[in-house]
Amino acid sequence: MDALSKLLRAMRLSGCVFFDAEFTAPWCVAGQARPEDLPPDMPVPGHLMEYHYIVDGELYLQSNGGAPLLARKGALLLLPRNDFHMLSSHTGLKPVENDALNTVEIESGIARIRYGGGGKRTHMLCGYLGTDDINNPLLMCLPSVMQLDLLNTSTGAWIQGAIRHTMRELSQGGPAVAANLATLAEVLFAEAVRSYLKDLPEGQAGWLAGLRDPVTSKAIALIHTQLDRSWTLEHLAREVGASRSSLIDKFVRLVDASPMQYLRRRRLLRAAEELNCNKRTVSEIGFAAGYESEAAFSRAFKREFGASPKAYRNAGRPAPKTTSDSGGSTAAKALHQVQ
């Protein structure tokens, strides 16, 4: 298993299909995955990513006021940060109100939508990918919209079949459904990320570029998957097959932090999540984050997030999404189309 696969496995992705939509031109709808869109009894993940798979026809997608993106049959459109977006048959149309859509609930909570003016037909399946790893830097570095042409990828046929099979499975239930949905979610996300990484310009710095480097990517994967391990720089360098100086140089150049700084940030981010999500004491959470005293943990936490752990917990803040460890470039945040 390569470093990216290990990193994705640690994210524990989930997924599902929740809309079977058929539109006829002219049409325009606004979208953003919401917890209430998920099928009944499905756990709600901490972070949602909406996707659309175009079964037939074509459509335009516009996100955050950016340029419209044309996508055709066989395309998978993924929105890693679940940004508000519009889908339409033509540009310049006003989205219809949700209550005007003819929505019928079918098997296992999946909604069937049929709407439009009677012209050219577009059929798509809409779903979500989810993770509770809300502060994973991968989510912060990816572009607003990613398009993957499944007709021209090695796993495209499998993914298309798996999406359709998912809908049949949901109607039948059974113990294998959750595992199959998780596998599909992981494959969908992995294919989109791999295609995006492949097209990154040579020489580009940033966290995503670090994933493309064999040494740095292994170190990142080890830190994310074994965060509780008593890492030292020597141990980490030995595991990835590099010298200490080489590992530091690559991390600083690509990720804009040393390996130990990156490890510290990941542990503090997890500590922030735990302050909101469990009843362990501040001392216990700090010790798990690698600090031998509550005072040392409090100082480090306040430097990173601007508040002490106790103040942070009392304020009931959501776990922070810092940009200090993302390393994302301007290009990585722009609308990107993977051909």
Query: Could you report the per-residue pLDDT of 63-95, keeping only the tens digit for each?
Result: 988 899 999 999 999 999 999 999 999 999 999
Is there a single domain that holds both residue 271 and residue 288?
yes
Predicted pLDDT of residue 177:
56
Q: SS3 string of 3-51? A: HHHHHHHHHCCEEEEEEEEEEECCCEEEECCCHHHCCCCCCCCCEEEEE
**How many domains, the chain?**
2
CB 21 within 8 A of CB 126: yes
Q: Which amino acid is at 33?
A: A
Measured between alpha carbons, how far is 303 from 309 in angstroms, rounded to an integer?
11
R_g (Cα) of the chain, nearest Å: 22
Q: Tens digits of per-residue pLDDT, 175-205?
A: 555 556 667 777 888 888 888 888 888 777 7
Predicted pLDDT of residue 2:
83
User: Residue 77: beta bridge partners?
Assistant: 52, 147
Residue 336 lies in a domain: no
Is there a single domain that holds both residue 197 and residue 222?
no
Predicted pLDDT of residue 235:
96
Domain edge (last residue) among 201, 223, 255: 201
Residue 322 lies in a domain: no
Is there a single domain that holds both residue 244 and residue 135?
no
Is there a single domain that holds both residue 9 and residue 157?
yes
Is there a single domain that holds both residue 192 and residue 234?
no
Listed as ranges, residues in the chain with pLDDT below 50 are: 322-339
Is there a single domain that holds both residue 187 and residue 242?
no
Is there a single domain that holds both residue 111 and residue 41?
yes
Is there a single domain that holds both residue 72 and residue 128?
yes
Q: Please report, for the domain that includes residue 309, its CATH number.
A: 1.10.10.60
Predicted pLDDT of residue 99:
67
Is there a single domain that holds both residue 215 and residue 194?
no
Predicted pLDDT of residue 167:
62
Is there a single domain that holds both residue 56 and residue 179?
yes
Q: Which helix (H) or strand (E) holds 131?
A: strand 121-131
Is there a single domain that holds both residue 264 and residue 289?
yes
Residue 337 lies in a domain: no
Is there a single domain that holds both residue 186 and residue 284?
no
Residue 326 lies in a domain: no
The range of the structural domain enclosing residue 57 comes to 3-201
Predicted pLDDT of residue 337:
34
Give me the phi and psi of 29, to 5 degrees please. -130, 155
